[in-house]
Structure 1
Amino acid sequence: MNSPDLFLLRQTYNEQRIMICFNGPFSKSLIEEIGKALKNYMQSENATPTAATDVFGVYIEMMQNIRHYAAAKGYSDVDAGATVIIGRDEEERYVVSAGNIVDQTDGQYLVSRIDSLGGMDKAALKALYKEQLRKPRPEGAASGAGLGLIDLARKATLPLVCSLRELDDGRAFFSLRVVI
């Protein structure tokens, strides 16, 4: 393996205002450790309690979704890995982005679901959240793209942004960006 140019990576991270970046396989304990680092970083930045709670909540929701999806699909450690970036945008808002490998049909469903949420205002998202919360879930029913996704959209200050990059093996790389 060639040694990466760490100075160039540092410059890129600073230019992109990336606070935390992780790429690779992860476990429950690693999610927790990155979460602790995120909390400490936000405290040092004097983030408002609301912003810190929302950023942490969005990070946890995204990583748990990726972890559960990969486990349900039986992906190998390499394929079950994720890329997560937490940073700031030009307007000082926090941005949480995460991506992982998905089956193409699952990714297409997620994109359409996120697109439908993007057209809703806060009141409509709240009503949808309450409606989804009241719906009975049949035992053994598959979960995903439900309450957690709606909650992400509710916490976001801008509509969720996602992309799907097709891979050669019938799968795709799904990316989601949440601005808080």
Structure 2
Amino acid sequence: MAPIDMFAMRECYNQQQIMLCFNGPISRSLIEEIGNALRNYMSEEQAHPSSAMDVFAVYIEMTQNIRHYTREKNWSDQQAGATVVVARDDQGRYVVSAGNLIETADGQQLLTAVAELAKKDKAGLKALYKEQLRRPRDEHVATGAGLGLIDIARKSSEPLKASLQPVSDELSFISLSAVI
């Protein structure tokens, strides 16, 4: 293996204003530890409390969704790995991004859901959230009520962005980003 150029990596992270980056298998305790580090970092940066709470909530929702999905699939640590990045954009807003392997059909469904959410304004997202809350849950379905993705869209200051990159015949890599 070629040596890792840590200085070049650092410069790249600084140029892209990456505050936090994680790549690897993600456990409940790791989600919590990274969340605490993120909370402390934002506190030291004196982020506005509502922004800090939204960034934290979006980070938690994204990482827990990845963990639940990969556990449901009984994937190995290598397959269950996630890439999570919290950065700032040129306007000083926070960008929370997460990616993981996903079955391609599930990834297509997620892209469709993100595209549908992108069509809605804040009032439409709020109404959809309330409607979803009232909808009865199917106890035989392992996934949640879909509230998490709607909540991420509600906290985001612009439409969510998602992409799907094929990895094999059955798997793709899904990337989701929210701007807070």
**TM-score (normalizing by structure 1):** 0.98
The residue type equivalent to 1:136 in the other structure is P
Which residue number corresponds to residue 116 of structure 1?
116
Partner secondary structure for residue 92 of structure 1: coil
Which residue number corresponds to residue 130 of structure 1?
130
1:114 and 1:162 in contact (8 A); partners too: yes
1:147-178: per-residue Cα shift (whole Å, max 9, x none)? 00000000000100000001124100000000
Moved more, 163-172 or 107-116: 163-172
Which residue number corresponds to residue 39 of structure 1?
39
CA distance in 2, matches of 1:7, 1:72: 38
Which residue number corresponds to residue 81 of structure 1?
81
Aligned CA distance change for structure 1 residues 161 and 145 (closer, same or farther; 3 Å): farther
2:132 and 2:145 in contact (8 A); partners too: no
Which residue number corresponds to residue 156 of structure 1?
156
CA distance in 1, matches of 2:38, 2:169: 34
CA distance in 2, matches of 1:110, 1:103: 11
Segments of 5+ residues of structure 1 without an aligned counterpart are none
Which residue number corresponds to residue 60 of structure 1?
60
Moved more, 139-148 or 125-134: 139-148
**TM-score (normalizing by structure 2):** 0.98
Which residue number corresponds to residue 98 of structure 1?
98
Segments of 5+ residues of structure 2 without an aligned counterpart are none
CA distance in 2, matches of 1:80, 1:43: 30
2:26 and 2:81 in contact (8 A); partners too: yes
The residue type equivalent to 2:135 in the other structure is K
CA distance in 2, matches of 1:138, 1:36: 33
2:137 and 2:145 in contact (8 A); partners too: no
CA distance in 2, matches of 1:44, 1:107: 36
Aligned residues: 180
Runs ≥4 residues deviating over 4 A: none
CA distance in 2, matches of 1:144, 1:102: 17
1:91-145: per-residue Cα shift (whole Å, max 9, x none)? 0000000000000000000001100100100000000000000011121223257
CA distance in 2, matches of 1:89, 1:83: 18
Aligned CA distance change for structure 1 residues 106 and 141 (closer, same or farther; 3 Å): same
Percent identity between matched residues is 59
